[in-house]
Structure 1
Amino acid sequence: MTKQHRTQILVVLAVVGLALNLRPALAAIGPLLDLIEGATGMSSTQTSLLTTLPVLVMGVCALAGGRIRQWLGEQHGIGAGIALIAIACGVRYTATGSSGLLATAIVAGMGIALVQTLLPAFIKRCFGTQAGRILALYTTGIMGGAAVAAASAAGLAQAWDWPLALAIWAVPAALAVPLWYLAVALDRKAAPLPTSVQLHAAAFWRNGRAWQLMLFFGIGTGAYTLVLAWLPPFYISLGWQPAAAGFLLGGLTVTEVIAGLAVSALIGRFPDRRKPLLTVLAMLLAGLVCLIVAPLPLALVASLLLGLGIGALFPLSLIVTLDHVDNPARAGELASFVQGGGYIIASVMPLLAGILRDQFADLSQAWLVMAVGVVGLIALSWRFSPASYGRINADQR
């Protein structure tokens, strides 16, 4: 194995290490929501903000991706992001009141946003034609971190109490910081873009196709944030033990990882992404229907279908977005626009579910709203033919 190959493997490991730390700050919340509500007196609407606020901040920061790249630079921006995640998680050991938890949610969201905003362009530049596979590994790593956090949260809380179950995720985030800087120091392709040069990209906010991609990513990610925040409380309300509900979410996210790996391995066979998109959207819709009509007898079936659908949809959404642009700098700007608006859209779903739970003491209505959104995605996905990618340059509607 050559030195170049070893360096490239190290860069991939650094990317995966970053990805693993992008969801535990959110995923550990769901299985502990009832404990947090009992300890802090927060309502379901208020605790939903522990998921909504980070996702909202992720969206706002992603929209400012170009300015962030010029201000911090790619390498240091990503390094600062993972450091903020470590700090936010660590502070949760003592910040156990409602205001402290909400503040750390915002800080964690800022850190996640920095990494997610800057890393796709880095991947596109460093891996070229292999960027699609690395992006799939990256998104799979995101879901893998969520799986571990969700499955272990209730057990850690039982052993150590819930503040430590939230704070423990500072450790892997802190370890990811030196790994990232070591990888980029050794890889010549990781040299930062010159921040003094203005990238005169098209104004994506005036582009019809960019808005379609944003809406697609936002609604699809809304399914992920909804399940992440509210699947465990939903089953706890149906009589399950918190540990069992956490394991259900953990199993779902493991299925997401498997789906993400399948996308990484197979995506090259589908230059037209519409067939895999329609397949995974059908799985997602079927999983939501299971939650609505028979949540107890079909719990495992619902978990499997939701995991396969969400796990494949997330990387596919990013891959389809980056398919539209060849230039790495413009691809990063498009990814920032799509993820920025998309995460703002996605942040609405956990909040809406919290409001519905306070009003009706049930989450069935939230699953129904999400199912309607997925039907809309099925209709929208038909528009994403390879022949239509030129609209990102020409369509100014």
Structure 2
Amino acid sequence: MENVRATTRPAFLLMLSIILVALNLRPSMAAIGPLLSAIRLDIPLSFSLAALLTMLPVMAMGLAMFFGLAISQRLGEHRTVVLSLLIVAIATVSRLFLDSAAELIFSAVLAGIGIALIQALMPALIKSRFSDNVALCMGLYVTSIMAGAAIAASFAPVVMNRTGSWRVGLAIWATLAVIALLFWCAQRVGMSTPPAKPTTKENFFTNSRAWLLALFFGLGTASYTCVLAWLAPYYVEKGWSEQNAGLLLGFLTAMEVLSGLLTPAIANRSRERRWVLAVLLVLIIAGFFGLILSPQSLSLLWPCLLGLGIGGLFPMSLIVALDHLDEPRRAGGLTAFVQGIGYLIAGLSPLIAGVIRDQLGSFEWAWWSLTGVMALMLMMVVRFNPRHYARHIH
């Protein structure tokens, strides 16, 4: 019994640390949308330029994924997370002193690099430390990412209204990084690992299944990044206050959190994930239809459907990638590739939507485009038959 407790407590503390770290992976982006109208009063920003505040950190996340695992193997898991949290904290707190669009964009890119180093590391860490409950622990990790977005989207306008400064509304989230950093450093015992066997670096660029997984993850994440960037401005244009639009985005991300917890737990019962993916995509399509056709009536229903769909799709895309390989390091390499290419794809969606808004005067065409993308993903789901995984990834 003593041995069980000795092993359970570090595992619990490690998972709690992972949750606290994950809370820091979206506030730097999620706080911008609800405060965008206030930022644009102070700093000249077109919608296309404002899209760079979401696009560039996501693109930086994608590019950094390709060397994130190499950095973590050189520095070790513990020091990599410490470095990443420091980068995120510095990027976030620097927003107190911003005077130009270029400085704001630079802070977003810097935060994206810090975020990417953590996201490259975590799937392999979870698969190696929690091998019996990978889907459940991945669900907790990804849910915590979305919870950080929910907190920032909901309370950034409140902070701005209380302090009279949008800069404080953006910078206050550095406190989350400090809390996670202190807790991560305090339980270092949970990070002790046996020396890794030397492995040859696997090249997934020539594997068609790896590209299919990356495309699926990228298109799904495109809906997440686009909604994160433009849902609040969309409703501000419909006459809502920044605070109410931020709370609506916070409600959507709260639904993402709920789905991110429940969906992997349900899917954990079987390696057959296709029916779960199909249901999630249908929910997203229904949510976009509602945003387009009836945004003001049943205004809580459409973000609810979008949140439930997007919140489950994000972890499930990574879980399906992890399912393809049993060895944690190879699976981590595959998920790093999937996220790297996927984030490069997803990063384009806020910019495309911003250009559509500037050219056509409305976000509706962006929602229509994403609806078509979700329909395409429904056809891709058929390919994810678990009985054929070994044949596709050798």
Instruction: Using structure 1 for the length normalisation, give the TM-score.
Output: 0.95
User: C-alpha displacement at 1:235, in angstroms?
Assistant: 0.6
- 1:242 is aligned to 242
The amino acid that maps onto 1:191 is: T
After superposition, the C-alpha distances for 1:9-40 in whole angstroms (9 at most, x for unaligned) are: 11111000011111100100010111111110
The answer to whether 1:85 aligns with 2:100 is no
Question: What is the alpha-carbon root mean square deviation over aligned residues?
Answer: 1.4
The within-5 A match list for 1:1-397 is 2-160=5-163, 161-183=165-187, 185-187=188-190, 190-191=192-193, 194=196, 198-394=198-394
Unpaired runs of 5+ residues, structure 1, are none
Instruction: Give distance in 1, aligned partners of 2:238 and 2:382.
Output: 37
Instruction: Give distance in 1, aligned partners of 2:320 and 2:351.
Output: 28
User: C-alpha displacement at 1:71, in angstroms?
Assistant: 3.5
User: C-alpha displacement at 1:179, in angstroms?
Assistant: 1.5
After superposition, the C-alpha distances for 1:268-287 in whole angstroms (9 at most, x for unaligned) are: 22320001000010000110
User: C-alpha displacement at 1:198, in angstroms?
Assistant: 4.9
User: C-alpha displacement at 1:192, in angstroms?
Assistant: 6.9
Instruction: Give distance in 2, aligned partners of 1:51 and 1:237.
Output: 19
User: C-alpha displacement at 1:181, in angstroms?
Assistant: 2.7
Moved more, 362-371 or 64-73: 64-73
User: C-alpha displacement at 1:6, in angstroms?
Assistant: 1.7
Tell me if the contact between 2:202 and 2:333 (Cα under 8 Å) persists in the aligned partners.
no
Instruction: Using structure 2 for the length normalisation, give the TM-score.
Output: 0.96
1:153 alignment partner, SS class: helix
Tell me if the contact between 1:202 and 1:393 (Cα under 8 Å) persists in the aligned partners.
no
Tell me if the contact between 1:37 and 1:44 (Cα under 8 Å) persists in the aligned partners.
no
The amino acid that maps onto 2:110 is: V
Instruction: Give distance in 1, aligned partners of 2:59 and 2:235.
Output: 26
The amino acid that maps onto 1:288 is: F
Instruction: Give distance in 2, aligned partners of 1:163 and 1:258.
Output: 30
1:204 alignment partner, SS class: coil
Instruction: Give distance in 2, aligned partners of 1:12 and 1:328.
Output: 17
Tell me if the contact between 2:127 and 2:328 (Cα under 8 Å) persists in the aligned partners.
yes
Tell me if the contact between 1:29 and 1:229 (Cα under 8 Å) persists in the aligned partners.
yes
Instruction: Give distance in 1, aligned partners of 2:156 and 2:170.
Output: 8
1:390 alignment partner, SS class: helix
User: C-alpha displacement at 1:193, in angstroms?
Assistant: 5.4
2:96 alignment partner, SS class: coil
The amino acid that maps onto 2:82 is: G
The amino acid that maps onto 2:215 is: L
User: C-alpha displacement at 1:393, in angstroms?
Assistant: 2.4
Instruction: Give distance in 2, aligned partners of 1:367 and 1:270.
Output: 33
User: C-alpha displacement at 1:78, in angstroms?
Assistant: 1.8
1:280 alignment partner, SS class: helix
User: C-alpha displacement at 1:112, in angstroms?
Assistant: 0.4
Tell me if the contact between 2:209 and 2:393 (Cα under 8 Å) persists in the aligned partners.
no
After superposition, the C-alpha distances for 1:241-289 in whole angstroms (9 at most, x for unaligned) are: 1111101000000001110110242222232000100001000011011
Instruction: Give distance in 2, aligned partners of 1:203 and 1:4.
Output: 35
Instruction: Give distance in 2, aligned partners of 1:268 and 1:120.
Output: 16
The amino acid that maps onto 2:189 is: L
User: C-alpha displacement at 1:99, in angstroms?
Assistant: 1.5
Tell me if the contact between 1:209 and 1:391 (Cα under 8 Å) persists in the aligned partners.
no
Tell me if the contact between 2:218 and 2:342 (Cα under 8 Å) persists in the aligned partners.
yes
Instruction: Give distance in 2, aligned partners of 1:83 and 1:65.
Output: 15
Instruction: Give distance in 2, aligned partners of 1:234 and 1:24.
Output: 19
1:177 alignment partner, SS class: helix
Instruction: Give distance in 1, aligned partners of 2:68 and 2:345.
Output: 17
1:9 alignment partner, SS class: helix
1:304 alignment partner, SS class: helix
User: C-alpha displacement at 1:382, in angstroms?
Assistant: 0.8
Instruction: Give distance in 2, aligned partners of 1:96 and 1:325.
Output: 47
Q: Cα–Cα, structure 1 residues 192 and 91, in superposed 2: closer, same or farther, change >3 Å? A: farther
The amino acid that maps onto 1:358 is: D
Instruction: Give distance in 2, aligned partners of 1:256 and 1:143.
Output: 6
Instruction: Give distance in 1, aligned partners of 2:158 and 2:245.
Output: 11
Tell me if the contact between 1:20 and 1:141 (Cα under 8 Å) persists in the aligned partners.
yes
Query: Identity of counterpart residues, as a percentage?
Result: 42
Tell me if the contact between 1:78 and 1:119 (Cα under 8 Å) persists in the aligned partners.
no
Tell me if the contact between 2:84 and 2:115 (Cα under 8 Å) persists in the aligned partners.
yes
User: C-alpha displacement at 1:137, in angstroms?
Assistant: 0.2
